[in-house]
Amino acid sequence: MVSDFVTKRLIVDKLALHDSIPVVPYLNIVYVENKGAAFGMFASLGNGFFITISFIAIATILLYMSKIPKGLELFSISLIFGGAVGNLIDRIMLGKVIDFIDVYVGTWHWPAFNVADSALTVGVTLFIISTFMQARKDSTS
């Protein structure tokens, strides 16, 4: 969460909205404001909707964590929790989420994202992997 907060503040302080800095081929640092969900989808639902969904997701994660997950499952849930809180902070403080990582190939650009989004994506992926690993382990026991 700290790295998400710090990187977003650096972007806001150092770049103008929609500025882009090439870093290496396939990667730019940009300043984009996202009022919607992933990739700006559903922005018309409003910030209050996304704040509510974030609080529900965080409460669900905390309830799930009370069952004392461990290992990869705990790590994945922690990434999901941190990512959700990181973007929630932006929504509460700014009414939008700051995105700044622009990955591209040729003229095709993946929608800009941030450290919290990365944590969420990696966390969900690892959670799915840990779930399949546990199911496989349970079926062989």
Q: Which of 4, 90, 102, 117 is catalytic?
A: 117
83, 5 in Cβ contact below 8 A?
A: no
* Cβ atoms 96, 35 nearer than 8 A: yes
Question: Coil, helix or strand for 64?
Answer: helix
Round to whole Å and give the CA distance between 73 and 56: 20
- Nearest-Å Rg of the Cα atoms of the chain is 17
- CA atoms of 59 and 72, how far apart (whole Å): 20
Give the mean model confidence (pLDDT) for residues 65-91.
Answer: 90
Write out the residue range of the structural domain in which residue 42 sits: 2-140
Residue 19: active-site member:
no
User: What's the pLDDT score for residue 138?
Assistant: 80
Q: Which of 4, 90, 99, 102 is catalytic?
A: 99
- 39 confidence band (pLDDT: 50, 70, 90): low
Residue 99 known to be catalytic: yes
Q: What are phi and psi of 109, to 5 degrees?
A: -115, 130
The rounded percent of the chain whose pLDDT value lies above 90 is: 72
Q: Name the domain count of the chain.
A: 1
Angle, nearest 10°, between helix axes 71-94 and 115-140? 150
